[in-house]
């Protein structure tokens, strides 16, 4: 799960949860209901708080506010570490502001869920994960049901979720390695659920862009086959979610009209992205990297450069890399 979701490093469940290990796991129907509640709460609840994320010893925090007003959804996110960045969303319209460089990026985005949400296909994840309740805990002052999603194969990581008992809102999530170690974690450190938040705190900044260089990247929907590619085989449990072409560097002034194609695959819980662009010997060097649960592989295929990145084991990343072939 798309990127303020890393916190707390190698934390265990805690003594309070260890005493609950004998609890009976949730039935399949209950499991599906919990996943639906988590997904729905992130969309239909008004809430605000501070998130902290951690992966590979790197800790960052963001302040987030989400407003539900009938069918309208508003969101404000301010990154509190490193370069100043603010993001505002009204339904599918997303504005990202970079105050230091005075750049504003305006995009129409389909929703790919990130903490504290789950993908719309999260119930389908039960084909690839076993879900059970492992007890109760308390996060940011809220009582939470703790759920464990254990993978049914080695193509994905286990995940542990803390859902607020009354609303279902996701309070914390851990991505676990094969030995149960925490690879990534994200959580609210303070959180207020409900109440009324002013929509002007989102709409106001979206209208006041004087002094900013406004960039509007144009994403074009496409298909792998139409771009001359094919999938030799599939990775078990993963389905193609979307395929788009976009400018390689839409933010840089005077950038060339080079494009990159991004294809997103999902197992209903986590995502893997495959990026395809023209090979450039000046920029591209084969490598593999690991940051927390995120594994990345970059390699040349003929005249093309392939990047595969996802919160899945490196062996799964390599499977995606090998299944992609240029059509004859």
Domains of the chain from N-terminus onward: 15-207 (2.50.20.10), 217-326 (3.30.200.100)
- Say which residue the tokens 């988590």 belong to: 38
State mean pLDDT over 237-255: 79
Average pLDDT over residues 32-54: 93
**Residue 11: which pLDDT band, with cuts at 50, 70 and 90?**
very low
Question: Quick check: 258 pLDDT over 50?
Answer: yes
- Find the range with the poorest average confidence among 31-35, 67-71, 265-269: 31-35
| Nearest CA among 328, 84, 45 for reference residue 197 | 45
Q: Is residue 147 within 8 Å of 34, Cβ to Cβ?
A: yes
Q: Which residues on adjacent β-strands are paired with residue 178?
A: none
pLDDT, the chain, mean: 87
Of the chain, the percentage scoring pLDDT greater than 70 comes to 87
Q: How would DSSP label each residue in 50-63?
A: EEEEEETTEEEEEE
Residue 128 pLDDT grade (very low, low, confident, very high; cuts 50, 70, 90): very high
Shortest CA distance to 320 belongs to which of 226, 158, 176, 312? 312
Peptide bond into 144 cis (omega under 30): no
What band does 256 get if pLDDT is binned at 50, 70 and 90?
low
Cα-Cα-Cα-Cα torsion 232, 237, 240, 246, nearest 10 degrees, comes to -100
Mean pLDDT to the nearest integer, 258-273: 93
Mean pLDDT of 181-199: 96
Question: Which token pair is 205?
Answer: 């900044």
Asked whether the predicted pLDDT for residue 173 surpasses 60, the reply is yes
Residues 310 and 272 sit within 8 Å (Cβ to Cβ): yes
- The pLDDT tens digits of the residues spanning 65-86 come to 999 999 999 999 999 999 999 9
In this predicted structure, the answer to whether residue 182 has a pLDDT above a threshold of 70 is: yes
Distances (CA, A) of 307 to 5, 127, 142, 236, 274: 22, 27, 40, 20, 6
CB under 8 A, 24+ apart: contacts of 223-230: 224/263, 225/327, 227/261, 227/276, 228/326, 228/327, 229/276, 229/324, 229/325, 229/326, 229/327, 230/324, 230/325, 230/326, 230/327
| pLDDT number for residue 5 | 31
Q: What pLDDT is recorded for position 317? A: 97
CA distance linking residue 311 with residue 293, whole number of Å? 5
Residue 108 has pLDDT above 90, yes or no: no
């Amino acid at each position: 799960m798309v990127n303020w979701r890393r916190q707390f490093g190698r934390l265990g469940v805690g003594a309070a949860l260890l005493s609950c290990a004998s609890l009976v796991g949730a039935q399949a129907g209950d499991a599906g209901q919990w996943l639906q509640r988590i997904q729905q709460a992130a969309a239909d609840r008004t809430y605000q708080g501070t998130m902290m994320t951690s992966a590979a010893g790197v800790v960052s925090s963001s302040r987030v506010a989400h407003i539900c007003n009938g069918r309208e959804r508003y969101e404000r996110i301010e990154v509190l570490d490193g370069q100043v960045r603010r993001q505002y969303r009204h339904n599918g319209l997303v504005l990202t502001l970079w105050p230091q460089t005075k750049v504003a990026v305006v995009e129409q985005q389909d929703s790919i869920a990130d903490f504290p949400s789950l993908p719309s296909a999260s119930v389908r994840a039960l084909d690839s994960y076993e879900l059970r309740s492992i007890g109760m805990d308390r996060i940011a002052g809220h009582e939470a049901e703790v759920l464990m999603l254990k993978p049914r194969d080695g193509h994905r990581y286990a995940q542990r979720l803390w859902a607020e008992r009354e609303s279902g809102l996701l309070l914390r999530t851990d991505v676990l390695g094969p030995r149960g170690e925490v690879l990534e974690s994200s959580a609210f450190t303070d959180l207020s659920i409900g109440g009324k938040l002013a929509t002007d705190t989102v709409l106001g900044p979206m209208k006041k862009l004087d002094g900013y260089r406004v960039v509007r990247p144009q994403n074009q929907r496409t298909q792998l086959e139409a771009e001359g590619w094919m999938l030799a085989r599939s990775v078990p449990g993963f389905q193609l979610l979307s395929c788009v072409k976009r400018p390689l560097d839409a933010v840089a002034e005077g950038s060339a009209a080079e494009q990159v194609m991004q294809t997103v695959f999902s197992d209903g819980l986590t995502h893997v992205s495959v990026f395809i662009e023209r090979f450039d010997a000046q920029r591209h060097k084969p490598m593999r990297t690991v940051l927390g649960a995120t594994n990345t592989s970059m390699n040349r295929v003929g005249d093309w450069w392939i990047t595969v990145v996802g919160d899945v084991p490196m062996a799964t990343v390599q499977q995606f890399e090998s299944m992609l072939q240029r059509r004859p």
